[in-house]
Structure 1
Amino acid sequence: MAVVEQIFPALTWRIRHLAMYPEQPYDFVKLENDFDGIHFGIYENYELIGVVSLFTEGDVGQFRKMGVLPESQHKGFGAQLLNYLIDFCEVQKLTKLWCNARVNAKEFYAKFGFTETNQTYSSSGIDFVRMEMKF
């Protein structure tokens, strides 16, 4: 059984690196404002296998760097982590939650009620689109 818990920011870095940017230097996955965010990890059999980071400004939240280890992908852990994050944002009375989704993952976020905007960009050879959910 997988369990989601709030975690210390530095615990996210190894998972981000392995799941999202293994070809980049380790420090590439560290965010300047990591220690201002709220971070969640999903554990399977006491092993951290996925992470997501939430940053809020007023009543709007942005989540960043959501990743699940490659060997644990496509098993529902990302969905469990995202559902937990959405529930947390509702309890915190946020009015909107958004992310810059990789274009190849936008269908995943759409299943949870996120809608695609016309805001797009590319970074490190990856295309992104802003997706939003209103509460």
Structure 2
Amino acid sequence: MNVQSITKEQAWEVRHTVMWPDKDFSYIQLKDDPSGIHYGLFEEGELKSVVSLFITGDEAQFRKFATLKKEQGKGYGSRLLEEVFLKAKNLGVRKVWCNARENKVSFYQAFNMKKTARVFTKSSTRYIVMELFF
């Protein structure tokens, strides 16, 4: 397994395939993507999992974390997230956070992320803001 920086276009391909294949391709593009750092996990040269990191000061939000459906459950996403947390810490980030889908809270808790009191619903999906301090 190899984690490396990727282009936003590479991230878009996986986002679209995994998260919103029924939406127009522009739907998965974020206005902040040009300023983000995009990471991908490769296995045998194939991109399996992506995440985008957006740093502001000493905080970073990760967004659009997606692993190809046929590759889920193999540890690719976990390995990618571990590497991204390490990279963020090395860049001087003191807090990393995300908007976690409620059904994925336990996944993030395995990385010592903590739930906050901030909860919201978007498109009938409930999200909980989770954070990790280094």
> TM-score, normalized by length of structure 2?
0.96
Shift in Å at residue 124 of structure 1? 2.3
Where does residue 128 of structure 2 map in the other structure?
Answer: 129
Q: CA RMSD in A?
A: 0.9
Where does residue 17 of structure 1 map in the other structure?
Answer: 16
| Gap regions ≥5 residues in structure 2 | none
Where does residue 62 of structure 1 map in the other structure?
Answer: 61
Shift in Å at residue 24 of structure 1? 2.0
Runs of 4+ in 1 over 6 A off after TM superposition: none
Q: Indicate the larger mover: 14-23 or 96-105.
A: 14-23
**Paired residue total:** 134
How does 1:14-53 map onto structure 2 within 5 Å?
14-53=13-52
Please tell me the residue identity of whatever aligns with 1:34: D
Distance 1:20 1:64 in 2: 12
Please tell me the residue identity of whatever aligns with 1:115: K
| Gap regions ≥5 residues in structure 1 | none
Distance 1:118 1:23 in 2: 32
Distance 2:47 2:79 in 1: 14
> TM-score, normalized by length of structure 1?
0.95
Where does residue 8 of structure 1 map in the other structure?
Answer: 7
SS in 1 for 2:111: coil
